[in-house]
């Protein structure tokens, strides 16, 4: 079977490389010509450990190639994965215009049976909508199946997650469609769950929303722990030993960001609002998340008196380590808040470069950690990059004007930082 992947962003590129590595012939199509040029030259348009090596390998092996011509590519492929973006609209709903464009072009171009697989995260009911868009675009009736196969990879470990998924969810109306998709994944050992398309779509939203609930629960509890002089990190460890709870997603911090959690939670809330079935817990999850960074910055401000004229170092820009993705990164809200309140901000990230137009007299980026902290009245860690865990904080302290360190990810050891003279402020650690 020949595989076509439509939309070669994080998910599409990872999907294309997974199937090339599993031995299938794959073509990746994107409407962004620059992206396709880069990929053809073996250059990843984003940072993701491990993917670049695999990209070069499969361009050379001939298993993977790229194109910008979707109509033409449709004709030569049996299975088509839709991996285009589904960003948030103003009202929180998912913008399906890219899915619709892809479905319409596919419908208008197909000349034979096709299996369409939706990997993009889409609201419940979208599979039915895609079937309709394709049917309407066809000039004559040609059979096809549309299967929902949500993606669960995490940026920063995309390759590992693609090859070692916790599960593969296949939402299909037909047994044949589900079986065909299973055959593509045949070498991956993990549980397979075949459901209706709508259920598969809901599983994706429910999973991301549940993880967001865990994060906001711990962040809200952290605020109480600060009042009670209790360590949220110790509470998380104590909770995590309980296998019913699990250890992951219990670390308090400045809140969640990225291209998925904020948009997916809002999309599910939008669906619930449309149906008059409010999800109150998720409404609170969003409210807690949107105020968490302010809570943390206010703890810094209390110690500084005011942000006006203060030099603040912001360490980490990406929404999490291992990626250069800044979509909805809490660091951006933190930088805006600091600048709005009169601070002079110096940022650092081991991978991400702040877009030049965003840099001003009050906002500069440094490549070196020591330079970033030089003369700073305070620093805040926004991304748990290993570079910050491994830094020589004793020497960095000497560069700062005031040794105030706000650990927005609760990643450093308080005692060690205090021992070298820092005023260490964690989150939910009293």
- With a CB cutoff of 8 Å and minimum separation 6, the contacts of 181 are 79, 115, 117, 147, 149, 170, 172
Using rule CB under 6 A, residue 134 touches ligand NAD? no
Exactly one of 3, 5, 10, 168 binds ligand NAD (CB under 6 A); that residue is 10
Using rule CB under 6 A, residue 11 touches ligand NAD? yes
Closest approach of Cβ 189 to ligand NAD, in Å? 21
Neighbouring C-beta atoms of residue 174, cutoff 10 Å: 12
Closest approach of Cβ 163 to ligand NAD, in Å? 15
Concatenate the DSSP letters of all residues of 341-373 into one string.
TT-EEEEE-SS----GGG-BTTEEE-SSHHHHH
> Left (φ > 0), alpha (ψ -120 to 50) or beta: where does 322 sit?
left
Using rule CB under 6 A, residue 155 touches ligand NAD? yes
The owner of tokens 């995260």 is 121
Using rule CB under 6 A, residue 121 touches ligand NAD? yes
- With a CB cutoff of 8 Å and minimum separation 6, the contacts of 147 are 115, 116, 117, 118, 127, 170, 171, 172, 177, 178, 181, 197
Exactly one of 17, 55, 102, 285 binds ligand NAD (CB under 6 A); that residue is 102
Angle between helices 126-137 and 197-228 (to 10 degrees): 140
Using rule CB under 6 A, residue 205 touches ligand NAD? no
Q: Which of 52-60's residues contact partners 24+ apart within 8 Å by CB, and which partners?
A: 54/17, 54/20, 54/21, 54/159, 55/13, 55/17, 58/17, 58/20, 58/21, 58/26
In the bound state with ligand NAD, the residue whose beta carbon lies nearer, of 90 and 229, is: 90
Exactly one of 80, 86, 146, 379 binds ligand NAD (CB under 6 A); that residue is 86
Using rule CB under 6 A, residue 9 touches ligand NAD? yes
Question: Binding segment for ligand NAD among 9-17, 106-114, 217-225, 380-388 (CB under 6 A)?
Answer: 9-17
Closest approach of Cβ 85 to ligand NAD, in Å? 4
Catalytic, 260? Answer: yes
Active-site residue (options: 83, 225, 260, 382): 260
Count residues binding ligand NAD (CB under 6 A).
27
Angle between helices 197-228 and 280-304 (to 10 degrees): 30
Exactly one of 31, 207, 291, 402 binds ligand NAD (CB under 6 A); that residue is 31
409, 315 Cβ separation under 8 angstroms: no
Question: Binding segment for ligand NAD among 7-15, 284-292, 366-374, 397-405 (CB under 6 A)?
Answer: 7-15
69, 33 Cβ separation under 8 angstroms: no
In the bound state with ligand NAD, the residue whose beta carbon lies nearer, of 98 and 307, is: 98
Exactly one of 4, 17, 70, 345 binds ligand NAD (CB under 6 A); that residue is 70
56, 42 Cβ separation under 8 angstroms: yes
> Left (φ > 0), alpha (ψ -120 to 50) or beta: where does 257 sit?
beta
The residue sitting closest to ligand NAD, measured at its beta carbon, is: 9
Closest approach of Cβ 158 to ligand NAD, in Å? 7
Using rule CB under 6 A, residue 6 touches ligand NAD? yes
Tokens of 171: 């939402």
5, 83 Cβ separation under 8 angstroms: yes
CA distance 324 to 318: 5
Closest approach of Cβ 72 to ligand NAD, in Å? 13
Exactly one of 259, 289, 346, 365 binds ligand NAD (CB under 6 A); that residue is 259
Closest approach of Cβ 341 to ligand NAD, in Å? 32
Exactly one of 80, 153, 334, 400 binds ligand NAD (CB under 6 A); that residue is 153
**CA quadruple 387, 327, 223, 154: dihedral sign:** negative
CA distance 296 to 300: 7
- Residue 182, judged by CB atoms within 10 A of its CB (0-12, 13-18, 19+), counts as middle
Exactly one of 4, 5, 7, 347 binds ligand NAD (CB under 6 A); that residue is 7
44, 58 Cβ separation under 8 angstroms: no
Question: Binding segment for ligand NAD among 4-12, 335-343, 372-380, 413-421 (CB under 6 A)?
Answer: 4-12
Closest approach of Cβ 231 to ligand NAD, in Å? 31
Exactly one of 30, 145, 226, 349 binds ligand NAD (CB under 6 A); that residue is 30
The residues that are catalytic are 260
Q: Which residues bind ligand NAD (CB under 6 A)?
A: 6-12, 29-32, 35, 70, 83-86, 98, 101-102, 120-121, 151, 153, 155, 259-260
């Amino acid at each position: 079977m020949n595989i076509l992947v439509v939309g070669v962003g994080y998910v599409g590129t990872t999907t294309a490389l997974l199937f090339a590595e599993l031995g299938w012939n794959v073509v990746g199509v994107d409407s962004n010509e620059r992206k396709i040029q880069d990929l053809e030259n073996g250059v990843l348009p984003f940072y993701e450990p491990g993917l670049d090596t695999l990209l070069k390998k499969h361009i050379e092996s001939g298993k993977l190639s790229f194109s910008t011509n979707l109509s033409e590519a449709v004709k030569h492929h049996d299975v088509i994965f839709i991996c285009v973006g589904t960003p948030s609209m103003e009202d929180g709903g998912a913008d399906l215009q890219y899915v619709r464009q892809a479905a319409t072009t596919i419908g208008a171009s197909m000349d034979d049976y096709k299996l369409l697989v939706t990997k993009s995260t889409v609201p419940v009911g979208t599979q039915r909508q895609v079937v309709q868009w394709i049917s309407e675009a066809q000039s004559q009736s040609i059979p096809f199946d549309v299967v929902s196969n949500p993606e669960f990879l995490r940026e920063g470990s995309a390759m590992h997650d693609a090859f070692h998924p916790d599960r593969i969810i296949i939402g299909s109306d037909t047994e044949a469609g589900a079986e065909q998709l299973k055959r593509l994944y045949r070498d991956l050992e993990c549980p397979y769950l075949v459901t209706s398309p709508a259920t598969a779509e809901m599983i994706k939203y429910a999973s991301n929303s549940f993880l967001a609930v865990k994060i906001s629960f711990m962040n809200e509890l952290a605020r109480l722990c600060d009042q009670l002089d209790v360590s949220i990190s110790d509470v998380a460890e104590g909770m995590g030993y309980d296998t019913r709870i699990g250890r992951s997603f219990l670390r308090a911090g400045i809140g969640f960001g990225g291209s998925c959690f904020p948009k997916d939670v809002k999309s599910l809330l939008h669906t619930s609002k449309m149906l008059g079935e409010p999800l109150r817990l998720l409404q609170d999850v969003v409210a807690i998340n949107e105020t968490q960074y302010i809570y943390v910055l206010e703890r810094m401000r209390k110690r500084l008196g005011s942000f006006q004229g203060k030099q603040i170092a912001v360490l980490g820009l990406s929404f999490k380590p291992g990626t250069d993705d800044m979509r909805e990164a809490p660091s951006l809200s933190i930088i805006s808040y600091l600048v709005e309140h009169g601070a002079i901000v110096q940022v650092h990230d081991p991978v991400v470069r702040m877009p030049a137009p965003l840099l001003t007299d009050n906002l500069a980026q440094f490549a070196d950690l020591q330079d970033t902290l030089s003369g700073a009245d305070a620093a805040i860690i926004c991304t748990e990059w290993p570079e910050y865990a491994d830094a020589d904080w004793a020497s960095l302290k000497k560069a700062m004007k005031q040794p105030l360190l706000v650990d927005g990810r609760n990643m450093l050891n308080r005692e060690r930082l205090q021992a070298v003279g820092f005023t260490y402020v964690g989150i939910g650690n009293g």
